[in-house]
Structure 1
Amino acid sequence: MSEIILINKPFRVLSQFTDREQTSRGPRKTLADYLSAPGFRVAGRLDYDSEGLLLLTNDGVLQQRIANPRHKQWKTYWVQIEGAVNNEILGQLMKGVELKDGPTQPCKATAISEPALWSRDPPVRYRRNVPDSWIEMSLREGRNRQIRRMTAAVGFPTLRLVRRAIGPWQLDTLRPGEHRRLTL
């Protein structure tokens, strides 16, 4: 029987159960600090400094269907950027931007109001003279740090990145570190 675990991965937590590297500050937090899930594997990654929905499953075929970009699962993110977003920037993101490893595929990008999120520790830096904006972005690719690189390429660095959905699965009311198990 296939099962899936939805977890709200907190900021500065690895998307794995062990940390093979030691930092000068000691070991980093991992998924093992929030749940025990023998036999489950992460279906896709979420950067150490990104937050939000992460899926785990005990079914290898399902893991590939979720994680592999050729299966075209939409992944949706709330992105706080430095600067005031405008239609020109949204248009550039939607048609795709040129990165060092080649052009990105078209994506969906919409300006949104600041979502009702939990506070982050440490908080996002605040600069009185520099506005920030929020965008909802959806894409089917999964390159390393892709959204951060895309927003930087159009001149708007990412300040905070929260994944809210992967395909039909949504973050909903899960708080950071909380998880929910589903049987498929």
Structure 2
Amino acid sequence: MPKKTYRYILFYKPYGVLSQFSKDTPSQKTLQDYISVPDVYPVGRLDCDSEGLLLLTNHGQLQHRLCHPSFGHPRTYLVQVERIPDTTALSNLEQGVLIKNYRTKPAKVKLLSQEPLLPPRIPPIRFRKNVPTAWLEMTLNEGKNRQVRRMTASVGFPTLRLVRIQIADLNLGDLQVGEWRDLIASEVKLLQKFAF
């Protein structure tokens, strides 16, 4: 029996795309509209209204280990929030906040001094002339459903835009929105250290 060839794919998921291949409605964009590789599946999810790095593979054991809560690995996001968080809000996010009877694990949170260089979102976020926005860089070691959005909302600064830029040692690099590429051998090795 031939040895199975594993594929590991990085994809820059656009806003408004579901992290699945099946279509619920003909007009809804899914991974099927961008990736024509058979039998690969996303490792974790990015919500429809989130953008950025998505990892896909046909390596079931690695997928399971990376998704299982007991094998935490860092995920880094750029987060545009409504208004400018104060030191108390930032400290609360770092220490962990209570969301629906669950306290989030400690996170790394940094208020960015300037807007990051990102491609424009289509459609753009709603703009309110009298409400300033700020950008945070947040690194979490867990991935609960809509966690970043719930965390920033819980400290009073709702998320307007969310872009995942890194998973463990993998980052967006030169990928453009809607593009994907296979991991190179050295990246696969880095990834496997988190899973085996």
TM-score of the two chains, using structure 1 as the length reference? 0.93
How many residue pairs align between the two structures?
Answer: 180
Q: How much has 1:141 moved relative to structure 2?
A: 1.4
Matches within 5 A, 1:1-184: 1-19=5-23, 21-22=24-25, 27-112=27-112, 113-182=114-183, 183=185, 184=188
Query: 1:86 and 1:59 mapped to 2: Cα distance?
Result: 43
Give unpaired runs (5+ residues) of structure 2: 189-196
CA RMSD, aligned part only?
1.2
Partner of 2:117: helix, strand, or coil? coil
Query: 2:101 and 2:125 mapped to 1: Cα distance?
Result: 28
Q: How much has 1:175 moved relative to structure 2?
A: 1.0
Query: 2:116 and 2:21 mapped to 1: Cα distance?
Result: 29
Between 106-115 and 161-170, the greater mean CA deviation after superposition: 106-115
Q: How much has 1:139 moved relative to structure 2?
A: 0.6
Q: What letter corresponds to residue 166 of structure 1 in structure 2?
A: I
Partner of 2:32: helix, strand, or coil? helix
Q: How much has 1:72 moved relative to structure 2?
A: 1.1
Q: How much has 1:8 moved relative to structure 2?
A: 0.2
Give unpaired runs (5+ residues) of structure 1: none
In the TM superposition, what whole-angstrom CA distance separates every residue of 1:3-38 from its partner, at most 9, and x where no partner exists? Answer: 21000000000001112x33xxx5310011111111
Query: 1:61 and 1:83 mapped to 2: Cα distance?
Result: 42
> Is the contact between residue 83 and residue 130 of structure 1 (CA under 8 Å) also seen in structure 2?
yes
> Is the contact between residue 14 and residue 29 of structure 1 (CA under 8 Å) also seen in structure 2?
yes
Between 63-72 and 90-99, the greater mean CA deviation after superposition: 63-72
Q: What letter corresponds to residue 119 of structure 1 in structure 2?
A: P
